[in-house]
Amino acid sequence: MASAEHKHPNYMAIFWYLAILTVVEIAVIYAPLAKLTIGVLLCALALGKAALVAMYFMHLRFETRTLGMVAITPLAIATLLVFLLLPDGFAVAKRTAGEKAAAEAPAKH
């Protein structure tokens, strides 16, 4: 059967990459770096680990390109959604802060 033969990546190597990247992730949160830098590094490491799992464990590397497009679409949608939600989130945060200030103001006199 064709599917049994054509894909045999070195699974143990992938396992070690994933284990090492997890240790690096934990080291990064204690590193003396700016919060934003740590956030960006952690996102990059997580995406790298996810890509390793998808490409080798899920055999996406050996599949057709179109199937790869199907697989990547949710990531694009989720990324877009963060930016769609942010303006609303900031507006609510601003209003809540305004209401809090208004509620505290009369109590002073």
Partner 1 sequence: MSAASVHSAVEPAETPLTPESWGKLGMWIFLAGDAVGFGTLLAGYGAMRLTSADWPSPYEVLGINLTALMTFLLICSSVTMVKGLEWLGKGDRARCKLFLFLTALGGAIFVSLQAYEWTHLIHRGLHINGNPWGASLFGTTFFLVTGFHGLHVTGGVIYLLAIIRYVANRPEPRASYNAVEIVGLYWHFVDLVWIMVFTFMYLI
Looking only at residues 35 through 54 of this chain, which bind partner 1 when binding is defined by CB under 8 A?
38-39, 42-43, 45-46, 49-50, 53-54
Could you tell me if 42 and 29 are in contact, meaning their C-beta atoms sit under 8 angstroms apart?
A: yes
Provide the minimum distance between the beta carbon of 76 and partner 1 in the complex, in angstroms, as a whole number: 9
Could you tell me if 9 and 56 are in contact, meaning their C-beta atoms sit under 8 angstroms apart?
A: yes
* Nearest C-alpha neighbor of 26 from the set 49, 42, 47, 14: 42
Give the pair of three-digit tokens for residue 93: 């945060």
**Under the rule (CB under 8 A), what is the footprint of partner 1?**
1-5, 8, 11-12, 15, 18-19, 22, 25-26, 28-29, 38-39, 42-43, 45-46, 49-50, 53-54, 57-58, 63-64, 66-67, 70-71, 73-75, 77-79, 81-82, 85-86, 88-90, 92-93, 97
